[in-house]
């Protein structure tokens, strides 16, 4: 099992929340939420999402999935 420090390092490096996605894509959190609601543009599904009575669910994504999506999106814009 990973130590607490090792887990923190992994989470900081490989896992993003909506704030992290906004930071690396230059998009607003609102725009990212729109992509999620519309289930459009091939945006990756979260690897974890809280459910139930949470007003604002916690969602987490693999950084590489978001970076791949962003790369595809850029190549489509360049056409």
Tell me the C-alpha to C-alpha distance, in Å, between residue 21 and each of 38, 52, 54, 58, 66. Answer: 17, 23, 21, 13, 7
pLDDT in tens, 43-60: 999 999 987 676 778 899
List, in sequence order, the alpha helices (H) in the chain.
4-14, 18-25, 29-38, 63-77
pLDDT in tens, 17-45: 999 999 999 999 999 988 888 877 789 99
The reply to whether CATH 1.25.40.10 applies to domain 9-51+58-77 is: no
């Amino acid at each position: 099992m990973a130590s607490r420090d090792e887990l923190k390092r992994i989470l900081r490096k490989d896992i993003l929340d909506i704030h992290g996605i906004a930071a690396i894509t230059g998009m607003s959190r609102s725009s990212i939420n729109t992509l999620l609601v519309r289930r459009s543009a091939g945006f990756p599904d979260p690897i974890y999402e809280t459910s139930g009575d949470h007003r604002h669910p916690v969602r987490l994504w693999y950084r590489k999935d978001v970076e791949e999506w962003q790369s595809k999106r850029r190549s489509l814009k360049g056409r």
